[in-house]
């Protein structure tokens, strides 16, 4: 039986980062992954391939609709769907190869197979051929992530009723697509397919898109997506879907409770994800699960069994790759005796539509619910010189601040490069910088970041100088 200091189960962002940090600190480390590539959902069928398609379709959409205004005559623009998906696959391959290199560089043992606890201290790893290897580790980190969820009455058959995973491996461009769910995955998928000419309809149960973020962001995103030709239907209650062979049909109740049905080439279910704990052998341990199926952990991310930790999607909370990475480092450094901390309210969220959407800190709705006073600094991209030059004038920055001390409470962005701009706001929140200080630092001109500057200025009560 091979003995390790630390065994990591799952090789997504949380798992591979935890393994690398463990090896850096001198621990004999093993990482176990059931699939034949490292990287988990994010690298293989999530963040990375989705962003590859978002970038490619963004270029195609700009060639159709913006190049002419820039004085670029490209003639007849044609979409090569096969090449679109081929490039996505190549991007994924380069990332998984990079992870293989990092495992070897850091002397991390990589075992392919399904890991299952025999008891609190022994792990069985079963490979594709059914062969079983038994290992033992002083510490374990469960980083098995999540898988797509569905709703009652909708069975995902992976043929016509699909998830984002299947959407990333389609053989031909669909003419029509109904997306059930207007969260992050739903709106990103809608952007990809709408840009290449697929007729897209979003059916969202709540009264706003990206409902977990500040409401102003969802309202603005709905207007933008509707203008681009996406049918966004809010307060729609889907209760049934059926594969019709060459198409699929979905049944739902509209805002008035009236029965409706819609047919499309595919029904894409994007109603969130659920923790993946199947076949882990947790029944052979005292590891506890919550009513939602997440693994219960304490403030140190330790389960009810000393020596067994869990991180990422499998413990719930925001299902973000960078949250899992943060937790992976946190656990390993805590095991090492370091005093690492995580401020969950300072972890940003991003939606990679165009314009992009990003958010960190408290939303306006949360502040109202808590009865807290706040000031708002809001400034549009349309008044920004760099945005005008780049023809990216949609959106705004919204800053929330404490009126007494000027403490930065939350920053919410919809606009060009929002995914990158939010990093500056994270620094402000993490180190408790006031909005006045954020406004007074120097910003390069002309840049999109100046929209942040003006929003901080307004929130602090300083006189604003439009740019």
Reported as type and span, the H/E element at residue 323 is helix 321-335
Closest alpha carbon to 9 in 116, 156, 101: 116
Reported as type and span, the H/E element at residue 189 is helix 184-195
Question: Is residue 408 classed as helix, strand or coil in its secondary structure?
Answer: strand
Question: Is residue 403 classed as helix, strand or coil in its secondary structure?
Answer: coil
**Residue 445 appears among annotated catalytic residues:** yes
Q: What distances in angstroms separate CA 402 from CA 43, 184, 376, 409, 413, one per listed residue? A: 39, 29, 9, 7, 18
Q: What distances in angstroms separate CA 39 from CA 14, 99, 102, 263, one per listed residue? A: 9, 7, 12, 35
Contact 407, 386 (CB under 8 A): no
Question: Is residue 111 classed as helix, strand or coil in its secondary structure?
Answer: strand
| CA atoms of 6 and 176, how far apart (whole Å) | 48
Closest alpha carbon to 347 in 380, 366, 324, 369: 324
Catalytic positions = 445
């Amino acid at each position: 039986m091979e003995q390790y200091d630390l065994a990591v189960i799952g090789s997504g962002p949380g798992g591979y980062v935890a393994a690398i940090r463990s090896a850096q600190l001198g621990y004999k480390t093993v990482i176990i992954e059931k699939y034949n590539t490292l990287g988990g959902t994010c690298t293989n069928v999530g963040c990375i391939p989705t962003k590859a398609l978002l970038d490619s379709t963004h270029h195609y959409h700009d060639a159709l609709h913006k190049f002419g205004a820039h004085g670029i005559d490209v003639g007849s623009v044609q979409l090569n769907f096969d090449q679109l998906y081929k490039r996505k696959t190549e991007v994924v391959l380069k990332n998984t190869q990079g992870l293989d290199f990092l495992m070897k560089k850091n002397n991390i043992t990589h075992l392919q197979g399904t890991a299952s606890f025999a008891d609190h201290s022994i792990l069985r790893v079963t490979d594709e051929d059914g062969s079983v290897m038994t290992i033992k580790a002083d510490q374990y980190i469960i980083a098995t992530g999540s898988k797509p969820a569905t709703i009652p009455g909708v069975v995902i058959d992976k043929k016509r009723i699909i998830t984002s995973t299947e959407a990333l491996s389609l053989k031909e461009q669909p003419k029509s697509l109904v997306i059930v769910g207007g969260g992050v995955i739903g709106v990103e998928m809608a952007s990809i397919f709408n840009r290449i000419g697929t007729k897209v309809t979003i059916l969202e149960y709540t009264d706003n898109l990206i409902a977990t973020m500040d409401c102003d962001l969802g309202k603005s995103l709905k207007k933008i997506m509707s203008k681009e030709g996406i049918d966004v239907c809010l307060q729609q209650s889907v209760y049934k879907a059926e594969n019709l062979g060459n198409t699929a049909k979905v049944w739902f109740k509209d805002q008035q409770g009236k029965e409706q049905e819609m047919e499309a080439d595919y029904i894409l279910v994007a109603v969130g994800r659920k923790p993946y704990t199947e076949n882990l052998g947790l029944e052979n341990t005292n590891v506890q699960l919550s009513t939602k199926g997440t693994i219960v952990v304490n403030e140190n991310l330790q389960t009810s069994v000393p020596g067994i930790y869990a991180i990422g999607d499998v413990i719930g909370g925001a299902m973000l790759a960078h949250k899992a990475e943060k937790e992976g480092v946190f656990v390993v450094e805590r095991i090492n005796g370091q005093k690492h901390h995580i401020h969950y309210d300072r972890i940003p969220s991003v939606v990679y539509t165009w314009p992009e959407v990003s958010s960190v800190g408290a939303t306006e709705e949360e502040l109202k619910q808590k009865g807290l006073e706040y000031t708002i600094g809001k400034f549009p991209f349309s008044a920004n010189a760099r945005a005008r030059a780049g023809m990216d004038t949609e959106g705004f920055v919204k800053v929330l601040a404490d009126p007494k001390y000027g403490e930065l409470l939350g920053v919410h962005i919809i606009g060009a490069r929002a995914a990158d701009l939010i990093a500056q706001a994270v620094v402000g929140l993490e180190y408790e910088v006031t909005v006045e200080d954020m406004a007074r630092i120097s910003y390069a001109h002309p840049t999109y970041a100046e929209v942040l500057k003006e929003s901080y200025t307004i929130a602090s009560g300083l006189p604003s100088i439009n740019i």
